[in-house]
Structure 1
Amino acid sequence: MFELTKRAMPKFERCTGISQSRLEILRELFVSEEITQRELQKKVNIDHAAVTRHLKQLEESGMVIRRKNPDDNRFTYVQLTDEGKQRVAAYCEEKQRFISSVLNDFSEEEKSALLDLLTRLQKNIEEM
């Protein structure tokens, strides 16, 4: 499984132009509208330093806005810009094309069985 991930991730990043971690951050922001950086970090399950680094780069590229809570400077709120929203939609479309390519020549029955197996595997890992 690790070998499969190791081979797929660079191809995914070349295809979509973005890392899976960064896409997860952006997708969560897309769904949440505005969220504290701490909540975001918990939802995407990426360490604090990495989330901060990703957000700084995304802010520099004009995709996100960060602002301090005026009542409590310990909290930073994050949200997508309009450009960020458009780019997330494009990234998600590209991800779907990538997945379709990966599953090329799989029947619907095989796709369904694979999804079932992976879901069960994930559940077993979470229950460990």
Structure 2
Amino acid sequence: MDEFYLIDSPSVEKLKKLKDEYSNLDITSVLLYLELQKAYKKMKLNHDVLLQNFDLSESKFTIMMLLSHEKDMLLSPSELSKKIGSKKSTITGVLKGLEKKEFVKRIVLPHDKRTNYVQLTDFGLEKLNEFLPHNYKIVSKIFDVFSVEEKEQFYELANKLKNNLEKDDLF
């Protein structure tokens, strides 16, 4: 399914009229939600274009980053699945794509022949190191409208929002 990008957000006046019908409507929260949603979608769109320029996807990049921070750049698919919060079957498809490009390889360890492990290859690490400066540049550029203090405050607020979203009783 295609993602929608809402350009025409409801106005404050429109929301005030809706408030008569829905008493629990918090106008500021709705406006903030829509602005965050639009900002996220725009960031994702820009990041996806950058990833595509390097023949990567967000999931491939994430797996490569996780592997790059591990001892011997090695993890089992189930460990990757836990770290990403995704089904092992989903990870398997991404790993096949990474293997095909020779960014990762499967390894059987002598002490654990039951499990295939995944290791970032030297070629995969080179690809990651080629991509990262561009990644960090775009991330910095996204937030360069904020001062250091504003970024720190934004980070704290975003973390507070994430923690609230992780509550079981939210929905």
TM-score (norm 2): 0.66
Gaps of 5+ in 1: none
CA distance in 2 between counterparts of 1:27 and 1:90 reads 13
Higher strand share: 1
Q: CA deviation at 1:63?
A: 0.4
CA distance in 2 between counterparts of 1:12 and 1:37 reads 25
Tell me if the contact between 2:51 and 2:58 (Cα under 8 Å) persists in the aligned partners. Answer: no
Counterpart for residue 79 of structure 2: 39
Q: CA deviation at 1:68?
A: 4.1
Q: Pick from 19, 23, 36 the counterpart of residue 61 of structure 2.
A: 23
Q: CA deviation at 1:9?
A: 1.5
Number of residue pairs aligned between Structure 1 and Structure 2: 127
Identity value in percent: 28
Higher RCO, Cα 8 Å, sep 6+: 1
Tell me the secondary structure at the aligned position of residue 69 of structure 2: helix
Are positions 1:112 and 2:120 aligned together?
Answer: no
Higher helix share: 1
- Alpha-carbon distance change, 44 to 67 in structure 1, aligned in 2, over 3 angstroms: same
User: Higher mean Cα deviation, 104-113 or 78-87?
Assistant: 104-113
Equivalent runs, 1:25-104 vs 2, <5 Å: 25-32=63-70, 33-68=73-108, 72-73=113-114, 75-104=115-144
Tell me if the contact between 1:12 and 1:19 (Cα under 8 Å) persists in the aligned partners. Answer: no
CA distance in 2 between counterparts of 1:10 and 1:67 reads 34
Q: CA deviation at 1:49?
A: 2.1
Tell me if the contact between 1:65 and 1:80 (Cα under 8 Å) persists in the aligned partners. Answer: yes
Residue identity matched to 2:65 = R
Residue identity matched to 2:82 = K
CA distance in 2 between counterparts of 1:22 and 1:10 reads 16
User: Higher mean Cα deviation, 54-63 or 82-91?
Assistant: 82-91
Q: CA deviation at 1:11?
A: 1.2
- Alpha-carbon distance change, 49 to 2 in structure 1, aligned in 2, over 3 angstroms: farther
Tell me if the contact between 1:9 and 1:20 (Cα under 8 Å) persists in the aligned partners. Answer: no
Residue identity matched to 1:55 = L
CA distance in 1 between counterparts of 2:166 and 2:64 reads 24
User: Higher mean Cα deviation, 76-85 or 2-11?
Assistant: 2-11
Residue identity matched to 2:50 = C
